[in-house]
Amino acid sequence: QYYKEEEKQAVTSFLTAVKKLTEVFPQLLDNLRRVEQKAPANNISSSIQRIRELIAQTRSVASKVQVSMMFGGQSAIEVNPKINVEELKSFTSMSLYIKLQKDNPQLAASPDRFILYLGNQNAKNYIGLAIKNDNLVYIYNLGGQDVEIPLDAKPVSTWPSYFSIIKIERIGRHGKMFLTVPSLSSTAEEKFIKKGEVLGPGSLLNLEPENTVFYVGGVPPDFKLPPSLNLPGFIGCLELATLNDDVISLYNFKHVYNIDTTTSPPCARNKLAFTQSRAVSYFFDGSGYALARNIERRGRFSQVTRFDIEVRTPTDNGLILLMINGSMFFSLEMHNGFLYLRYDFGFSTGPVLLEDSMKKAQINDAKFHEISIIYHNSKKMILVVDRRHIKSVDNERTAMPFTDIYIGGAPAEILHSSISSHLAGSIGFKGCMKGFQFQKKDFNLLEEPGTLGISYGCPEDSLMSRKAYFNGESFIASSQKASLFSEFEGGFNFRTLQPNGLLFYYSEGSDVLSISMDRGAVVLNASGTKIQSPDRNYNDGKTHFIITSVTPERYELTVDDKKQSKKNPAKDRAGKSPDSVRKFYFGGSPLRTQQANFTGCISNAYFTRLDREVEVEDFQQYSEKVQTSLYGCPVESPPVALLHKKGKNSSKAKGNRNKKVGRDKDKISQPSTGLKKLYQEVNMQRDPQCHLPMNPKATEHAYQFGGTANSRQEFDLIPKDFSERAQFSISLKTHSSHGMIFYVSDQKETNFMALFVAHGRLIFMFNAGHQKIRIKSQEKYNDGLWHNVIFIRGKNIGRLIIDGLRVLEEPFSGNVNTWQVTEPLYIGGVAPGKAVKNIQINSVYSFSGCLSNLQLNGRSITSASQTFSVTPCFEGPSEAGTYFSSEGGYVVLDESFSLGLKFEVVFEIRPRSSSGILLHGHSVNGEYLNMHMRNGQVTVKLNNGIRDFSTSVTLKQSLCDGRWHRIAVIRDANVVQLDVDSEVNHVVGPLNPKAIDHREPVFIGGVPESLLTSSLTTRTSFIGCIRNFMIDEKPVSFSKAALVSGAVSINTCPAA
């Protein structure tokens, strides 16, 4: 008998738990959805916010419920796909488990069945699965004709009566389907593969975000399927597994049709049947965590205390283990691919750091690594990786003072508490973990009551590195047995803000095939035959897809389905087989080429090889990886393009409360327009209606940077003798381990000069011809104290002087006259895309801390020409939120957020002035939506193309009483409702029958004067704090905004 008696009992217990889950979960989500849709009747904003946090957590958990659903032929699920449809455009991969109910008479009478549909509602551009003519059939449509791929090697009638797994994949026009049938008694598996491709034009799955549906098992009666999928509903059990990199589940649904889990319970599935090792592993997606409480129930802290865990990830950063007890903590993180352990058990000398500084064990190579932490005699911490000693450190003799441990992440309120200053980052772990032990005792993490948002298994798709980020000096390389000058096709996504750069390079002797960016255009160069895209706007920060093909007759270049081609002049070379394995490069090349290396992201690459099928490239497997990050893409959307396409100038933030300096050269020399004079004038101001002063207590002449990646000040004044002698002095204070303090360069960034923080140390860097001079401090200065720094580039020597005590020098040779730089001079950070050519990516991001007393060649510099997310350096307590300072400023949300004809915006404010703009959206045809305060009254005013209309709310108590207040505005076409705490008002405006949704910039806290119409009388910027901002119940992160202009502090609010 296959199961032992204990296993029978376990299976019975499992089925009972599943039955309970399927009864409770739909009810829970349904009840939460009802609560979520209700507007609060009184001032219970914190309770509603907490409920909505629980809803978000519930949806996260729902997407990881690894339980099937039984479909009876008339039932259907509409799934929430939980993914940006742009990510499915060039590459789509989905996996699911399937089990047919073979004894059902309906299935015997009508065996052809629908399985799933993901696509647009108009049945153009979609992927689907069905059973037709006893074959599993994968169908996809990219705007033209259907591609049907039948898996005829394994007829459905021969499938076993337990679960099999299906995977469907598409890269460009190429499609592939996999069927895996496991064995219940061994690790043996049967695998079947079938492929197909689009024969006509089209290589992108163009899904529309508002028009995309995902139906499984069947469709609702009013939905019309395309003819190829128009079949009766599925009969049997289905369980979703992954969609691209995301774990998905049927239980994260939008709608359920005709499913009764009490009469048709789900089918049990043996989870370990689909894992090679048959060992339990857990998947973390970066949002969840495991929590083991009272760990001493399994073992005791003793003379030798030991933690063990195995991890597998392709990512650079993530939290692995965290323990907290008051101000005492223990954190093990992965930082830039290496382990970083920091702890404090109440030591008199403060926290202890143990990091793999010698880089002995790289963790982020997508392989499992065994990590052991051993604490010996309460005074020695030892780090072991793959049974190899990495490092150890001694500390004061103190026992570990903890009872609970977080694994793979922690709640946001913990990560953003006082512990955050001791963490290298606050990023949850993404990847797989297994074998967590305390004192060699195992823990089942999914059975721990505090665990949230993790799942069983280790999906291979989530561990692939399908994207790479290049910094202008990096590249990756691999080899293949193919000749790109014979029959060849390849493609990839790219995303950049830079107009020039080498994307792909391959050579056979003197013959070169390259793809590059040239002044915003894409250029294919095949042995001197050049094909250039007609458009020159591909450096817009958006994702674009390139396909290149070579045939004996033609060379072709396709960018976003726009094709260009030329005849192949070298027909005698076509058809030759390669005589050896040849190397190719992405992102640049170590060889001397005409193009500079690429800055930006490349993803979802594929090409035809002789030694394997067409499949997406896993960059993790490449033999050479130079200065490349294989996870994440820090390319920003360019704010200038966002505003210039409307004909507006993003650099001028006019109309703010106290005239902020723009690019007016005449004003730069006037101290009255600088922040110094402004500080003196408004420091003691107080709005008579407000409890809090207009300006919190701050350090005089000091400014706070950070919160966004490009927080900075720009100065346009560079002395004439700068190339001969450049001497700067500055005071700084920070807890951050990385960040840019100062940067200036020429246009091509060949000549440059920079001061930045890396791993807590100060680094002064500049070029002398082709040589880079680097002067680095030995000590760390991210201790939260003020330090005075002087850095000098002389005729033949560089100097870094810190606190007047430590002088570091480096001589160099070079022609001074050839070293020229141009404005602007950047302080505290750089513009998007700048500096990545010369500085490591972590230090390119904005400095997080305070800067003061900036001097250039002995003269103070006080008047910035432009300011982005810079505020006075506040003293005293702070809390989470975004602070809009009295100097004026605003936030422009990224383009994924818009205010259309139907929306709900909810946020909280704590003003320091009774008047100011809260929110503004403006379209090119004159329509607008404006929300503002005026003497404590909140007003929403709209123009929908017919006329202006508005509604207002005035609270009985002051809106400026120093407390947080909740504001909500709900629009449904011509009806607008405004809620301020418990007060509600609404207005019904004229109906515009020709109204259309516009995706236009949304401004928060202020708006350029040029976008305000004459009918809007409140033109000053908001002063105070905003937090918990949501659009359509989706949290808005200001740190990811398209633009933060002026004196705005992201994520930090002065509390007094």
Q: Is the dihedral of CA 875, 879, 885, 886 positive or negative?
A: negative
pLDDT for 482: 65
E strand residue ranges, 366-500: 369-376, 380-385, 388-394, 405-407, 430-438, 441-442, 452-456, 467-471, 475-480, 488-495
Identify the three-state secondary structure at position 608.
coil
23 SS3 class: helix
The answer to whether 172 and 606 are in contact (CB under 8 A) is yes
Chain segment 855-886, per-residue pLDDT in tens: 888 778 878 888 888 888 988 888 889 999 98
Place of tokens 């065994």: 370
Separation of alpha carbons 706 and 728, rounded Å: 21
| C-alpha dihedral sign at 986, 992, 998, 1003 | negative
Tokens of 824: 């602007």
- Predicted pLDDT of residue 642: 31
User: Is residue 824 reached through a cis peptide bond, with omega within 30 degrees of 0 on the bond before it?
Assistant: yes
Q: Is 556 left (phi over 0), alpha (psi -120 to 50) or beta?
A: beta
Q: What whole-number distance in Å separates Cα of residue 761 and Cα of residue 352? A: 17
CB 412 within 8 A of CB 288: no
Q: First vs last Cα of the chain: how many Å apart?
A: 72
Instruction: Give CA–CA dist 429/415, Å, rounded.
Output: 13
Under-70 pLDDT residues of the chain = 1-64, 185-187, 270-279, 481-483, 571-580, 609-612, 632, 634-686, 805, 814-817, 895-898, 924, 997-999
Say what the pLDDT of residue 183 is. 77
Dist. CA 1044–CA 1046, nearest whole Å: 7
Structure-block tokens of residue 350: 């403060």
Predicted TM-score (pTM) of the model is 0.56
Rounded distance, CA 53 to CA 64, Å? 17
Cα-trace Rg, the chain: 30
CA dist 460 and 699 (Å) reads 52
Q: For residue 332, what pLDDT is reported?
A: 96
pLDDT digits (tens, 9 = 90+) for 311-340: 999 888 899 999 999 999 999 999 888 999
Query: For residue 397, what are its two tokens?
Result: 């003799």
Per-residue H/E/C for 929-977: EEEEEECCEEEEEEECCCCEEEEEEECCCCCCCCCCEEEEEEEECCEEE
Using CA atoms, how far residue 1012 sits from 647, 922, 927, 969, 1020, in Å, is 14, 9, 11, 20, 11
| Structure confidence at residue 762 (pLDDT) | 95
Going from the C-alpha of 236 to that of each of 76, 111, 161, 250, 266, the distances in angstroms are: 12, 12, 10, 14, 9
Per-residue confidence (pLDDT) for residue 629, from 0 to 100: 82
Task: Give the per-residue pLDDT at 244.
Answer: 86
User: How far is 211 from 125, CA to CA, in rounded Å?
Assistant: 11
**3-class SS at 1009?**
helix
> Distance of CA 669 to CAs 700, 717, 721, 834, 1012, Å?
20, 10, 19, 27, 29
Residues composing the chain: 1056
Instruction: State residue 2's pLDDT score.
Output: 38
Q: Judge whether 1036 and 905 are in contact, CB under 8 Å.
A: no
> What DSSP line would sit under 770-831, residue for residue?
TEEEEEE-SS---SSS-EEEEEEE-SSEEEEEETTTEEEEEE----GGG---EEEEEESS--
Q: Distance between CA 974 and CA 971 in Å, rounded?
A: 7
Tokens of 318: 């993530």
Are residues 316 and 432 in contact, defined by beta-carbon separation less than 8 angstroms? Answer: no
Tell me if 436 sits within 8 A of 309, measured CB to CB: yes
